[in-house]
Every structure is written in C-alpha cells, then in structure tokens.
C-alpha cells in the first residue's frame, strides 16, 4: 500500500471523530466571491466549511474528498450539500467550470511536492479565468516539539516539515517560499499569517491566502 492509500485509510478510520478547526474568513471571502458563484471545496472532509458558506447565502456549492467515510458523514450531517468522493487524483469537472476553489487544511495532508503541484494544475484547469483560490493551511513552527519531529522525518520523506502522528497520519507544515511556488499561476490578493488550533488541540503557525487565476480566456 502506498502513502496515498495509507492516508485514505487513516482518514476513513477517523472520519467520525475528527473536528476541523481552521476558521472560514467570511468577510474576506465575500470581497471576492458572489453568492451565486460556483464554489468547489477540494478536500471538503465532512462539509463543515461548505455548511458555513450555505448558511451565509452561497447557493452553488460542491465538495470533493478522497475519504468516502468523510463524505458519508457529511451527507448525514448536511443532506442538502452536494458532496462527492474523489475516486482518483483528477478532479471530475470540465475546464473553467467554477468561479472559486477553497482548500482548508488540505496541503498539510499531502507530503509530496509533485502531488501538490499536480493538484494545483487541476485547480487551475477547473477554475475560470480570474477565478478565486482561497487556502487555509499550516506553516512551519519553531518550538522544540515541532523542530524535533521535522528533523526526525526529514530523511524518511525527503521534505523538511513532514511528520508522523502516533495515530497514523502523515502531515506537513510549509514555508512561505513553497506557498509562493505553488501559487505562481495566481495573482496574489491576500496572504496573512495567523495562528490556528489543530484538529488535535495544539497551536500552529498558519496562513490564509486569496489569489486570482491568471489563466487566459480561450480564443
């Protein structure tokens, strides 16, 4: 079993117990995205951010996640939401079909640089020109606990900032230089550094980012 399948198995196992915590910046989001815009939540988990959007008056919502158990939980909690299991690493949507993509604590679950870059190519493909990307995720920390685990797993995974949790998850914290590399296809609108509470109740450096897709219209 490769790491992708191992992580899918982990998230299926914990789907009923995890509560996600990174906050939705509602006022900032409303500056860029209209209520009727088609919004795709990549890595939607059990749909809690889409539910916030729904309660805020957004009406054209779709969530995808590779964990079938997370999607099942979301459908039970929020039967009015359109939640689908991502069966492979390609987003099953036409080119230029959504006005906004949101990603909440998704990159932290993807260890490989190439897998992250591949996901961003898919996101740019499905986003309309000038479509909005909104990311919430985690940055490198500098406390003794985190520095120790970054060092412990750097050689195993080939990337500084990756670490394992005893419960089975493999996660990654990022530096801002990598965030800027990932988002090179976007015009940056906002990048704010913040502190988040993690799903296990710890504090971590984090960020939220808004960018505009600079893909050109087809002639």
Of all residues in the chain, the percent with pLDDT exceeding 70 is: 97
Q: What CATH number does residue 74 fall under?
A: 3.40.50.150
**Residue 163 lies inside a defined structural domain of this protein:** yes
pLDDT tens for each residue of 12-34: 999 998 888 889 999 999 999 99
pLDDT tens for each residue of 90-133: 899 999 999 999 999 999 999 999 999 999 999 999 999 999 99
Question: What is the arithmetic mean of pLDDT over 69-92?
Answer: 93
**Residue 114 lies inside a defined structural domain of this protein:** yes
Buried/exposed code over 115-142 (b: 16+ C-beta within 10 A; e: otherwise): ebeebbeebbbbbbeebbbbbbbbbbbe
The reported pLDDT for the residue numbered 219 is 43
Question: What is the arithmetic mean of pLDDT over 60-80?
Answer: 97
**What does the mean pLDDT of the chain come to?**
94
Q: Give the pLDDT band of residue 3 (cuts 50, 70, 90).
A: confident
Nearest-angstrom CA–CA distance, 42 and 104 = 8
The reported pLDDT for the residue numbered 5 is 87
pTM of the predicted model as reported, rounded to 2 decimal places:
0.94
Q: What is the span of the domain harbouring residue 195? A: 3-213
**Residue 218 lies inside a defined structural domain of this protein:** no
Query: What is the domain count for the chain?
Result: 1
Q: Going along the chain, which residue ranges are E strands?
A: 39-42, 61-65, 83-85, 98-104, 127-138, 162-164, 170-172, 186-197, 203-213
């Amino acid at each position: 079993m490769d790491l992708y399948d191992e992580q899918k198995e982990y998230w299926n196992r914990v789907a009923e117990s995890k509560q996600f915590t990174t906050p939705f910046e509602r006022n900032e989001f409303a500056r860029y995205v209209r209520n009727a815009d088609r919004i795709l939540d990549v890595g939607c988990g059990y749909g809690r951010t889409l539910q916030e959007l729904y309660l805020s008056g957004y009406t054209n919502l779709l969530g995808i996640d590779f964990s079938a158990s997370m999607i099942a939980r979301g459908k039970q909690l929020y039967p009015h939401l359109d939640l689908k299991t991502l069966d492979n690493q390609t987003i099953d949507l036409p080119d230029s079909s959504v006005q906004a993509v949101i990603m909440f604590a998704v990159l932290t679950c993807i260890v490989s640089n190439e897998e992250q870059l591949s996901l961003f190519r898919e996101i740019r493909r499905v986003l309309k020109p000038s479509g909005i990307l909104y990311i919430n995720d985690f940055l490198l920390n500098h406390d003794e606990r985190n520095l120790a685990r970054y060092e412990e797993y750097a050689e195993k995974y080939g990337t500084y900032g990756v670490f394992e949790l005893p419960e089975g998850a493999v996660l990654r914290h990022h530096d801002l230089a990598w965030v800027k590399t990932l988002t090179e296809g976007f015009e940056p609108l906002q990048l704010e550094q913040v502190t988040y509470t993690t799903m296990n109740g710890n504090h971590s450096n984090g960020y939220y980012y808004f960018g505009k897709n600079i893909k050109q219209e087809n002639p």
